[in-house]
Structure 1
Amino acid sequence: MTVDARGRRVLVTGASSGIGRATAHLLARQGARLVLVSRAREVLEEVARECTARGAQETLVLPTDVGDHEAVDATFAAAVAALGGVDGVVHAAGVAAYGRFQDVPPEVFEGVLRTNLLGTANVARAALRLFEERRGGSLVLLGSVLGKMSTPWMSPYATSKWGVTGLARALQIEARSLPGVGVSLVSPGGVDTPIYDLAATSIGHGGNPPPPVTTPEKVAQACVEALDRPRRDRDVGAGNQVMVAGFRLLPGVFDALVTPLMARLGLDGRDTAPHPGNVLEPVPGREAVRGRWPHVWGQWR
């Protein structure tokens, strides 16, 4: 579905940080009317001011935990009441956790799935019901290269993103019978956002975005393009296809190499006490568009 970019009504989840915040900024420069969604009201209000300064016609701040389906339904109802409808949704909310599977606290593992997978389902359900009723709309879901491969110490995130990939493909097939409705998946690799520093850890170290690292603005551009030109799966990251090919075609070699590479390139070298990061509660003071790449590469083995 193609909509005049100026005045387009777009709901963005995860709008307080990283890819979601960069997407909101880009849509604002196009003159969109924005619904900004995340758990942290104070940060969303800051993002709303940033978007207004960049040219957004209107901004609506709706703090929401996407893992709560009733809250998501209420958010969509409030957006429709305020704006008269929603033309597009970019679902970028996400959290991460590092640690061996058996060491990750159950509440943290479940919290990652609640936000990343159930949150995607909740947002997609509300969006598709609205788009079906109005016979048009574009839904963009954020997947990940880890929705197509796996690494050690990121089992909660990989599990959630494999689920998002499967859900997105099912929705794309079902949407073929919905006139004017598009469903897109955008799958980034390593991106310079605060998600790594906000992630939970039970391994004694934080995470790094694995190289090659791209910018949140580049992923945001892919998301905004998908609003007008739905894509089955848009990879954003120079190394994505190589990594996925290795995982699928040379599994023995991949399994032998991925642990030392992850230890060297995917973990921060700083010692960190175990903590839940922003998985269970937001951490407003650390939310921003970009992270702190280049990080100090980990030396832990």
Structure 2
Amino acid sequence: MSDSLRNKVVVVTGASSGIGRSIVLESAGRGATVVLMARNVDKLTEIAAEARELSGTEAIVLPTDMGKADEIEASFKNLIAKVDHIDYLVNCAGFGKFETFMESSTQDVTSMFQVNVLGLMYFTRLIGRVMIDQKQGQIVNFGSIAGKVPTTKSAAYSASKAAVIQFSNVLRLELKPFNVKVMTVNPGPVYTNFFNTADKSGKYVENVQAFMLDPDDVAWQVVHYFGSNKRELNLPVSLAVASKLYALFPTVGDFLSLEFASRK
């Protein structure tokens, strides 16, 4: 491990599992002070202890439901009372459910947008204002290849991730004059607890084994680009190419999606 992030503060939402957890530990391994945000206090406390061992410095736990504005605001006030600057914000919090849109519940769709989009936007605005005052910082928002390439049984989830991608694109332009960078990360399927909720049947995971990503590998790449001007990271390469081809040849893309990518 290196000291490349020594004296840097990295805030991670969705830090209790999956990619969020991996980014916390990758950042801590490089010396960062990490701030962990998620709902599960016990998991956050456990991961924070591991992060402290790696970094030799503080790891701050802020239990937060990213779908609730009042909790986001309370955690933000708590955060700025504990740190005097914020270098990186990584928005990993999110969830999805795989089912046809006509069968999905209004509550599930609303909750998905509340966490994946609105909570992300609200917290990003709070942190973004701090970074503007600092005249430096970087915001990393997790979209998804699903926000670029449509597959069946993911209408609400894909729409929420498409919203994150476009939000990030506009935010990048608005924050550029203040030396605040914005990067979007769009992974394909990842070996995480995400599928415990999204894919209860297990069929989708079985069908996309060839494309599944390791959360530690994703975290390494994300942290590697901390401080860079990279605007978008699409993983894996095969699905990144597929997303570009879909944009160029959408009719063919629809056919291929129905034949090969919609087996949920």
Instruction: Give me the TM-score of the superposition, normalised by structure 1.
Output: 0.80
Task: Say if 1:7 and 1:57, in contact at 8 Å, map to a contact too.
Answer: no
CA distance in 2 between counterparts of 1:151 and 1:56 reads: 44
Structure 1 residue runs of 4+, over 3 Å off? Answer: 204-207
Per the TM alignment, residue 216 of structure 1 is displaced from its structure 2 partner at its CA by 0.9
Deviation per CA, 1:78-100: give whole Å up to 9, x if none.
Answer: 11211222221111111011100
Q: Is the 8 A contact 2:18 2:193 kept in 1?
A: yes
- The verdict on how the C-alpha distance between 1:188 and 1:73 changes in structure 2, with shifts beyond 3 A counting, is same
Identify the residue that residue 73 of structure 1 maps to in structure 2. Answer: 73
- Correspondence list, 1:1-301, <5 A: 5-178=5-178, 180-199=179-198, 207-208=204-205, 210=208, 211-264=210-263, 267=264
Deviations 1:48-100 (A, max 9, x none): 12212322511111011122233222222211211222221111111011100
Deviations 1:147-196 (A, max 9, x none): 21211001121000000011000000101221x31111111112211211
Secondary structure of 2:43's counterpart equals helix
Is residue 98–residue 206 contact of structure 1 (8 Å, CA) maintained in 2? no
What's the CA shift for 1:242?
A: 2.8
Kept after mapping to 2: 8 A contact 1:212/1:238: no
Contact 2:113 2:160 in 1 (8 A): yes
Q: Between 21-30 and 59-68, report the one with greater CA deviation.
A: 59-68
* Inter-CA distance 258–77: structure 2 relative to 1 (3 Å threshold): same
Q: Report the residue type matching 1:234 in the other structure.
A: L
Q: Which AA in structure 2 matches 1:219?
A: V
**Structure 2: 5+ residue stretches without partners:** none
**Secondary structure class of the residue paired with 1:176:** helix
What is the aligned residue count? 260
8 Å Cα contact 1:34/1:56 also seen in 2: no
Distance 2:199 2:126 in 1: 28
**1-structure distance, mates of 2:123, 2:99:** 28
Q: Is the 8 A contact 2:151 2:262 kept in 1?
A: no
Are the structure 2 counterparts of residues 136 and 73 from structure 1 closer, same or farther at C-alpha, using a change threshold of 3 Å? Answer: farther
Q: Can you list the C-alpha shifts for 1:2-58, whole angstroms capped at 9, x where unaligned?
A: x95112111110100111000001011111111100011111111112212322511
CA contact (8 A) 1:143 1:161 kept: yes
Gaps of 5+ in 1: 268-301
Change beyond 3 A, Cα 1:72–1:200: farther
Alpha-carbon separation, structure 2, partners of 1:77 and 1:230: 29
Aligned to 1:294: none
Contact 1:199 1:206 in 2 (8 A): no
Going from structure 1 to structure 2, the CA distance change for 1:72 and 1:64 (only over 3 Å counts) comes to: same
CA deviation after TM superposition for structure 1 residue 131, in Å: 0.7
TM-score normalised per structure 2: 0.91
Partner Cα distance (2:43, 2:248) in 1: 43
- Closer, same or farther in 2 for the Cα pair 1:192/1:205, shift >3 Å? closer
**1:221–1:147 CA distance, 2 compared to 1 (3 A):** same
Of the structure 1 ranges 99-108 and 184-193, higher mean CA displacement relative to structure 2 is found in 184-193
Residues of 2 paired with 1:112 and 1:200: CA distance?
Answer: 15
